[in-house]
Homo-oligomer: A and B are copies of this chain.
Amino acid sequence: MKVGFMGLGQMGRGMAGRLLDAGHELVVHNRSSAAAAPLQARGAQLAASPLDLLDADIVVSMLADDTAVEALCVASGFAERMPRGRLHLNMASVSLRMAQRLTDLHRAGGSDYVAAPVFGRPAAAAEGQLDIVAAGAASALARCAPLFAAMGKNVFIVGDEPHKATIVKIARNYMLAAAVESMGEAFALVRKSGVDAKAFYDLVTTTSFTGSSYRNYGKLMVERNFDNPSFPLKLGLKDIELALAAGGETRVPLPLAGMLREQHMGALNRGLGDKDWASMADYIAERAGLGEVK
């Protein structure tokens, strides 16, 4: 299949590589063309503009945020001009509002739109081991299946309207934010009574909180290993704001999220924005009088 690909960040590069591995013909576009070189070396073509991707059967986008999507997919005319019968497979995390807007633009132009955000780190992307949450028309999803197979280990279909995948991704990341905060607070609570953080970590992650969310972030909290973030705290704030915006549009009160946002704002002011999300535990500990943030 001829596949277009927009957005060659840490995630996108690995995903695009998997598509080449699977034998697809690839045309890539990225704001800085340097990121495309390794893919070009493997046979990918470089497109100067998002519009140059419009003759591909499916165009995958994996952009950083709404601003990038606005620029490359909306303002550029990409979504509006996509020909009838072509398909835009957006795998980035966007706001609920943007998901609806892209849906509308593609519907108006007669092209197809599938939202399929992913869970997983860059390493998982490079190995085709992502978890994919997908929503869109059944026929459109079927056309994406070979690409999903190349990039992911699981595909969760959550509905036939694209924004449903978007909200699922937002809600799951919001649960993650609550998990990070609650674990950080729990660590502060036991440490202030003299309990070793590692002992508490071992207990909770081998009994009721065995999930990877608790194991991974908890381990970083115990080790105070925040300097090579696989997910920086500032992106955690972005996710909370996506949840709040979605809650605002659909009128869902989110008491936890309202509070989490302010907590993250404070942590940013304390210089933790580019540290790992787990550094929230240090911010909480500092407020509890347990020494300074690292």
Contact = CB atoms under 8 A, between A and B. Distances in A.
Interface of A: 96, 119, 131, 133, 154, 156-159, 161, 163-164, 167-168, 170-172, 174-176, 178-179, 181-183, 185-190, 192-196, 199-200, 202-204, 206-214, 241, 243-244, 246-248, 250-263, 265-266, 268-270, 284, 287-289
A202 B252 CA distance: 22
Given A175-B204, A211-B211, 8 more contacts: A154-B206, A158-B196, A158-B199, A174-B182, A189-B252, A193-B246, A208-B213, A256-B259
A156 to B, nearest CB: 5
A251 B172 contact: no
Contacts of A178: 178-179, 181-182, 256
Contacts of A156: 199, 202-203
Q: Find the residue from A188, A196, A262 having the highest chain B CB count within 10 A.
A: A262
Stoichiometry (number of copies): 4
The 8 closest A-B pairs by CB, nearest first: A178-B182, A258-B258, A269-B289, A171-B186, A253-B265, A167-B193, A208-B213, A253-B262
A45 B270 CA distance: 55
A254 B164 contact: no
A59 to B, nearest CB: 25
Given A208-B119, A210-B212, A288-B252, A189 B243 contact: yes
A235 to B, nearest CB: 15
A257 B253 CA distance: 13
A174 B185 CA distance: 9
Contacts of A159: 194-196, 199
Contacts of A171: 186-187, 189-190, 200
Nearest to A183: B175
14 contacts: A131-B203, A133-B203, A163-B193, A171-B189, A179-B209, A181-B256, A189-B247, A189-B252, A192-B252, A193-B246, A209-B211, A255-B255, A257-B262, A258-B258
B185 A172 contact: no
Q: Find the residue from A196, A259, A287 having the highest chain B CB count within 10 A.
A: A287
A200 B289 contact: no
A241 to B, nearest CB: 7
Contacts of A252: 185, 188-189, 192, 265, 288
Given A253-B269, A256-B256, A189 B170 contact: yes
Q: Find the residue from A212, A252, A265 having the highest chain B CB count within 10 A.
A: A252
A164 B194 contact: yes
A115 to B, nearest CB: 12
Contacts of A182: 174-175, 178-179, 182, 256
